[in-house]
Every structure is written in C-alpha cells, then in structure tokens.
Amino acid sequence: MPTLIDRRGVSRRAVLTGIGAAGALMVSGAAVLSPREAWGLEVAALKPETMRTLIVMARDIYPHDKVPNRFYAVAMKPYETDAAKDPALKALVENGVTTLDTLAMAKYGVPYADVGWEEHRVALLRGIEDSAFFQKVRGGLVVGLYNQEEVWPIFGYEGSSADKGGYIDRGFNDIVWL
Amino acid sequence: MAAPFDLNDDSVVVIVGSGAGGGTLGTDLALKGIKVVILEAGERHNMEDFVNNEWDSFAQLAWKDMRTTSGSWRVHKNFPNLPAWIVKAVGGSSVHWAGASLRFQEHEFKTRSTYGDLDGANLLDWPITLKEMEPYYARAEDRMGVTRTNGIPGLPGNNNFKVFESGATKIGYKEVSTGHMAINSQPRNDRGACQQIGFCFQGCKSGAKWSTLIAEIPRGEATGNLEVRPQSMVQKIEHDASGKVTGVVYVDKDGKTQRQKARIVAVAGNSIESPRLLLNSASAMFPDGLANSSGQVGRNYMRHMTGSVYGVFDKPVHMYRGTTMAGVVRDEAKNDTKRGFVGGYEMETLSLGVPFMAAFLDPGAWGRSFTSAMDGYVNMAGMWLVGEDMPQETNRVTLNMDVKDQYGLPVADVHFDDHPNDVAMRNHAYRQGAAVYDSVGAIRTLPTPPYPSTHNLGTNRMSEKARDGVVNRNGQTHDIKNLFVSDGSQFTTGGAENPTLTIVALAIRQAEFIAGEMGKGTI
C-alpha cells in the first residue's frame, strides 16, 4: 500500500507540471508532491496526474484558505485505496477526470488542474455537478475532509471532551462579548 | 439480575424495542411483578463505551439497516436511505435524545376540534385529554428528573444559550429558559450532575441524562422479572385461529431464528419499524397486516416541522461546549392563527460539531458560500425549530417489496411531503430565528433544512373509533386485544413538543392498564 502522506520532501526528479492552481502540487514518478508542505502521496491504482487533479478539485469544492493541501490529499487518499480494489470506481474516477480535463482544454487550453482561476475551475465543476463522478467525490469529501481531527482546530472545534472532564470547568459559559 | 425466560413460556409479555416507550413499559411491568422479555434489535453498550466523535458514534449507535424514501422532502434527495436519525441499541433513541421534556398543551390533544377541517390534513382529536395525562406527566417528570419540576433547579446556561437568551429577550420573547430537561442539574437517583460535556446526541458518558438504558432497564432487571435480549430482530408477530397474538419470530445474535411465545405483545420499535413489523406480519386472516382493519397502519407519518437557524457572529461562541439543547423559547408554541398557520413551534438551542455541521448545514452544497459559513464555525450560535406538523394519510411508511433487508424481509419506505401549513410555519420560524440572532449582531444567519427525522410519529395512531386509527386510548390495538403499541407511533397528532416525555407518560399509563387487565383476566 502506498504511504499515506510521507514527509520525504521533494525529489530532484520532481517535475513542475503547471503554474495554475496545482502549481503547488507536482507529479513525480508515481507520486503527487507538495514541496511547500513537504509531503508526498504515492499512488498505484490511479494515475498520479489524476490524484493531483482530485486534490485540486477537492479544494475547489470545499475551499478553506486556512486549510493546507495535505488535508485535501488525506481526504482524497481513499479513492486511491478503493480504486485498487474496485475497477468500476477506478474507471469512474479516471473517466471523470478525463472529462473534466477535456472540458478545460476546450475552454482554456490547459488541463483542469492548471486552469488559473478558482472561479473558472468552479464553473467547469458546475457543469458536471450532477454526474456520478462529481457526486462520488463530493460525498466522500464532506466526511473525509471535515472528519479529520487534525483539521478541527483550524475551525475552532475542540472535539472529544468527556476525557477532559467536559466543559464544566473549561469555559462552557465563558462568553464575554454579549 | 437478568431473568432468562423460556422460549415456550407463554405467560410473558414480549416487548419489541427498548427505547423510551418499550424500556419504560418493560421496567414498569417488571416492577409490578409481571414477567417481561424485551427483544431489542441492537447491541447493548455501556455508557463508558459511548464515543465523543460524531461519525464514530453514528457508526456505533444509529439505525443503519436499509430503508428507502420517496416524496418531495429534501431528505429523500440528500439522504435517500437515511429517513431517520434514530438508534439501534438497548435504550433505543433515549440514548440519543437531547433531554428536552415538555408537556403537550391542552389544545394539542384536540387538534380536529381546535384547528377545524384543514385541507389535506387528517386531523383527529386524541381519545385522551391533557387532564387525564397530567398525573402521568407528573410521574414521568419525577422519574426522569426533569429540571424545573419537583424542585429540581434548571441547568446553567452555556455560551450557546447566552446568545440565544440575549437575542430572544431583545426581540421581546418572555418564555425563555434553559428548559425542562431530563438531565440532572444536581445528583439525583444515583446519577450525577451534568458535566457540560456536549455530545448529548452521542450517548451521555456521565450518566446525567435520563435514558432507559441507564435509568430504567437496570431497575426492571433487578426485580428478576425483566429479561432484555439484545441483537434480537423481530421478523413477525404470530397469532392463533381466534386472532389473538401468540408470540414473535425473531433472529437472535447468532443469526438463528427463534420463536418466543407470549401472553401479550407490545410493539415499540419507533414509528418506522413498528408499522413495518405489523405489515410484515400479514397472514391469511389479516392480509393487510396486523391491526390494520382501518387501513391506517403506516399512515399519518409525522416528523415534526423542523429546521435550524445558525447565526454567525464576529466573536467566538463555542456553541458546542456544554449541554446541547438546554435552552428554549416557548412564546411561539401557542396556537395563534394570525401568524398564517395552525399549531405552534418551540425554539431550542442546538449545536453540531464540525463533522455533522458540514454534512447537515446545507446538504449537497459546495463552494465558497458554504465554506465561508463553515469558516465561521467557532463564532456560530445555533437553534432548532420544532413544531407541530400536519398528519397526512399519504405521508406513509409502506413495505418496499423490491428491496429486502439482511433477513430477506421487505424494508420500510418512508414517503413524506410537507403540508402547506408546515411550510408556512417553517418560514415563520426561520424569520423569527434569524431575528433572534440579528438582534445581537449576527453577521449572517443560515436557515438550515430539516435533518433526517429524529421525531418519528403517528404511524399507528390512537383513535376513539376503530375505523379512524390503529390503537385505542390505552395503546391497545382496536383489532387484537393482546397486541399493543407503546411508542411514538401511537400519537394521534404530534404537538409542538419533543415527544419523549409524552411517550414515557403514555408507557407508564399503559403499564397500569395492562397490569389491571391481566389482573382481571381480560387479556
């Protein structure tokens, strides 16, 4: 199985494939790399370009400027894992990305992940939002992104509380601005 | 001590389901010296095992067996196989409920007389009055330890309540408090006081919240008269040639089919499974299902008019800290038709964690409008709007003959369309909810659509006349004397209030009736 996210940094063979939205994400061999965030995600079932597109798409669906790309990558990782076991899912994802890239090429002359403006990429997504591919990605993402415990502090959510004695002595009624 | 009863013991009362209705009824009968077997489809958890994590807890507790939906309600589009967010475990949905314990108002037992003949609404007066229910409400409140009754102080207000209270008071609401909650504000009945954990929906880990799992069933078991069999999914209720029920067929925890004989069967599987079981028990003698001579089994499905409003402020609220629903405004609960609808609604504080907020704030939505709202999570306050919805014959639980469950039985299909009265009430409630938060400086308010139903009601309604409903004023089926319904599916109409207190009061009353009739030898 591929490493979830390893912090091995950027290989010298890494190729910067674009300057658009995915400029921060590179494909190298069978991995998607984020030099800025110092992680890499290896893929085997899906094409690395496909995973890169999925991560860009994930951010376009649920854009949070304060949430680093690695959380979107973690949320998209199950599609790689599941595609390895499920040829129909693999086809759905690969074909879905191909369709998206085709639409992007026709309108902007570059693949989806390299379209420069979020607004333009979102317009492309709106065109396919009723498709099984889009619904599959969004449906998994709404749990896969927001259910990561590590992402909660960014939203100011403290998670489990019983193990800390609840909030009876930890600010359940500490509001001061009213 | 659990009392194991023999499968062939035909003197036992068999109760299907261990929630607020079944768990209370079983415990009360056991306390009266009557032998009871409760068959519960779900597992038995200890409160220490509950999880402070929304999705993990959902996996642990929720009813996830296949169901289908139809109709114009948004749940059908967004959650086609999850019509209801209820529990499959010992304690049923009393494990999951928030604790709000409000009595019905007098007119809510007399809706046909009060509201008149409303187009499309199958309104009917209950065959019981508030006056008759009052002593049972009083007993239920004492037993459940409801705050602001029996000298029990109210819960302290959390941050979410403070915003709610401040806004509600500012726009002129008078009946604002931390409510009547079956959550201990001080130690009572061997259970401690609320630790302001939050996660009330995920099973209370401190035991401050009343549930049949921790507060009733152990008392029943201690008598030696109550046996609870978890992971026992009832498939069918059987009857003899005279039409009396004789027992139930169920699949046990090892997947083996068993037959438990019974003197009396009480169905308490919540308003989706209860009618499903009656319908799946159809026989040559009862081709339309048991107790269904009126054709009303499964009909008049109600889920309360619901919706939520979240307000986003410019400073932190941390709404998730502390008791989830200890806050209520009751000013809109009355029947005042000048507002453009009959019936009324309660406004109650509510919070969700980030995972469920993402799933339920605007299901299916994506893009910056949605995510900028999520970015305001820590600055959010939230309320739930819950009011009386109109019973409609076409809102209905039926058997979906094309889809089978893991046992090969047809699953329940839940069909729902809003009545125009429900829509008018929701729109009013959204406006008022937003006004509450606007008055204390909300930057933005978010009218959030109904979640999968938590209050499932009415599918085996109570009626004076046999032709109008399924059960009589004691929850006894009109057609079969030793077959009872003991959950919220008995409700003739839904009221504006959270239903659990009324379910418990009805169960206490029903236990008295069943014991009395058994004593007289009539059943």
Give all strands of the β-sheet with B264-267 in edge-to-edge order: B226-229, B36-39, B13-16, B264-267, B483-485
Which residues span the domain enclosing B23?
13-520
User: Closest Cα partner for B203 from B302, B93, B364?
Assistant: B93
| Token duo for residue B238 | 């059987």
Quote the pLDDT of residue A24: 85
B459 contacts chain A (CB < 8 A): no
Band (pLDDT 50/70/90 cuts) for residue A12 is very low
Give the best residue of B82, B195, B312, B437 to mutate against chain A (max A CB count within 10 A): B195
- A175 to B199: CB separation less than 8 angstroms, yes or no: no
Does residue B28 lie within any of the structural domains? yes
B-chain residue closest to A178, CA distance: B163
Does residue B3 lie within any of the structural domains? no
Does residue B4 lie within any of the structural domains? no
Sequence spans of domains, chain A: 45-159
Quote the pLDDT of residue A1: 29
Residue B160, CA atoms < 13 Å, CB-side half-sphere: 30
- B156 to A173: CB separation less than 8 angstroms, yes or no: yes
Strands (E), B127-243: 176-177, 226-229, 233-239
**How many C-beta atoms lie closer than 10 Å to residue B246's C-beta?**
16
- A168 to B378: CB separation less than 8 angstroms, yes or no: no
- B159 to A152: CB separation less than 8 angstroms, yes or no: no
- A66 to B375: CB separation less than 8 angstroms, yes or no: yes
- The domain total for chain B is 1
Q: Name the interface residues of A facing B (CB cutoff 8 Å).
A: 61-64, 66, 122, 129, 138, 142-143, 145-147, 151-152, 155-163, 165-168, 170-175, 177-178
**How many C-beta atoms lie closer than 10 Å to residue B218's C-beta?**
15
Say if CB B423 and CB B283 are below 8 A apart.
no
C-alpha distances out from residue B247 to A23, B244, B266, B486, B521, Å: 68, 10, 10, 17, 18
How far is C-alpha B454 from the chain's CA centre? 6
Q: What confidence tens digit (pLDDT) does each residue in B446-497 have? A: 999 999 999 999 999 999 999 999 999 999 999 999 999 999 999 999 999 9
Strands (E), B59-154: 68-70
- Identify the bridge partners of residue B444 per DSSP, sorted by sequence position: B312
Q: What is the pTM of this model?
A: 0.96
Band (pLDDT 50/70/90 cuts) for residue A2 is very low
As a dihedral over the C-alpha atoms of residue B33, residue B37, residue B42, residue B43, rounded to 10 degrees, the angle is 70
Does residue B328 lie within any of the structural domains? yes
Phi, psi of B206 (to 5 degrees): -100, -15
ipTM: 0.94
- A-chain CB neighbours of B315 within 8 Å are 177
* DSSP letter assigned to residue B387: E
**SS3 label, residue B359:** helix
- Taking the CA of residue A114 and the nearest CA in chain B, the distance in Å comes to 19
Residues in chain B: 523
Q: Which residues of chain B have pLDDT under 70?
A: 1-3
User: From CA B89, how far away is CA B109, in angstroms rounded?
Assistant: 31
Q: What confidence tens digit (pLDDT) does each residue in A107-157 have? A: 999 999 999 999 999 999 999 999 999 999 999 999 999 999 999 999 999
How far is C-alpha B311 from the chain's CA centre? 27
- A167 to B194: CB separation less than 8 angstroms, yes or no: no
- Taking the CA of residue B360 and the nearest CA in chain A, the distance in Å comes to 10
Nearby residues of B54 by Cβ (< 8 Å), 6 or more positions away: A147, B201, B202, B352, B353, B355, B356
B370 contacts chain A (CB < 8 A): yes
* H-type alpha helices, B174-326: 217-222, 270-280
As a dihedral over the C-alpha atoms of residue B385, residue B387, residue B393, residue B396, rounded to 10 degrees, the angle is 40
- A64 to B374: CB separation less than 8 angstroms, yes or no: yes
- B-chain CB neighbours of A144 within 8 Å are none
Nearby residues of B296 by Cβ (< 8 Å), 6 or more positions away: B393, B460, B461, B463, B468, B469, B470
* H-type alpha helices, B9-67: 20-31, 54-61
Does residue B271 lie within any of the structural domains? yes
Say if CB B72 and CB B423 are below 8 A apart.
no
Does residue B2 lie within any of the structural domains? no
Quote the pLDDT of residue B288: 98
Concatenate the DSSP letters of all residues of A81-142 into one string. HHHHH-HHHHHHHHHHHHHHHHHHHHHHSS-GGG-S-HHHHHHHHHHHTTSHHHHHHHHHHH
- A-chain CB neighbours of B355 within 8 Å are 143, 146-147
Summarize the confidence of residues A42-66 as an average pLDDT: 97
- B159 to A165: CB separation less than 8 angstroms, yes or no: no
Quote the pLDDT of residue B2: 55
- Taking the CA of residue A14 and the nearest CA in chain B, the distance in Å comes to 31
Does residue B1 lie within any of the structural domains? no
User: From CA B16, how far away is CA B26, in angstroms rounded?
Assistant: 10
Question: Looking at the partner chain, which of B163, B196, B378 has a beta carbon nearest the beta carbon of A156?
Answer: B378
| Token duo for residue B479 | 């057609």
Burial label, B252 (beta-carbon count in 10 A; 0-12, 13-18, 19+): middle
